[in-house]
Amino acid sequence: MDEILGQVLRNAVWERLDMLAELANEADSPALISAARSELPRLTQGWRVMLSAHEPDERGDCPTCSTRWHRCKAPCSVWQVAHDHLVAGGLAHFQDSRRTRRLRRAAGPGVSAASSAAPPVPDQPRRVPTPPSGKHALVGGAGR
């Protein structure tokens, strides 16, 4: 049952994000102003709630990302994504991501990060495709 509920919640969030992206790309000015006034406060509050759960503790670890066996130093990936998309305009991950730094260290001295790094990540994150059985997970997907 938790799996079904989780899928329903994920689908609802993806659909809402799709709707907002479509609105931003295709709506006229009055509709955009109306949407901005209603949606921006909700989106900023959602970011605030999520980021507050990832505030570093007294040791400088993220309490949400850390486990009993592995401590995750701040800033965690949630804070890094927030900075990339809210402050740096989605371009910060091209400049010097953790992966690029790790690849540079692994390649050794004298090898540039550009030559050892993987191809750039697209601006939009890849979505997991929704089940082909319909808009909602409960439509034909409960037995999976």
Taking only the tens place, the pLDDT of each residue in 66-76 is 999 999 999 99
Say yes or no to pLDDT of 21 above 60: yes
Alpha-carbon distance 96 to 117, whole Å?
A: 10
Alpha-carbon distance 65 to 70, whole Å?
A: 9
Say yes or no to pLDDT of 136 above 50: no
Rg of the chain on CA atoms, in Å? 19
Task: Report how far apart, in Å, the C-alpha atoms of 22 and of each of 18, 79, 109 are.
Answer: 6, 26, 46
pLDDT for the residue numbered 88: 87
pLDDT for the residue numbered 116: 39
- In this predicted model, which residue has the larger pLDDT, 140 or 41? 41
pTM assigned to the model: 0.58
Q: Name the DSSP letter for residue 125.
A: P
Say yes or no to pLDDT of 122 above 50: no
pLDDT for the residue numbered 51: 95
The pLDDT-based confidence of 27 (bands split at 50, 70, 90) is confident
In degrees, rounded to 5, the angle at the alpha carbon of residue 58 between the alpha carbons of residues 63 and 45 is 55
The pLDDT-based confidence of 89 (bands split at 50, 70, 90) is confident
Residue 61: phi and psi, rounded to 5, are -100, 150
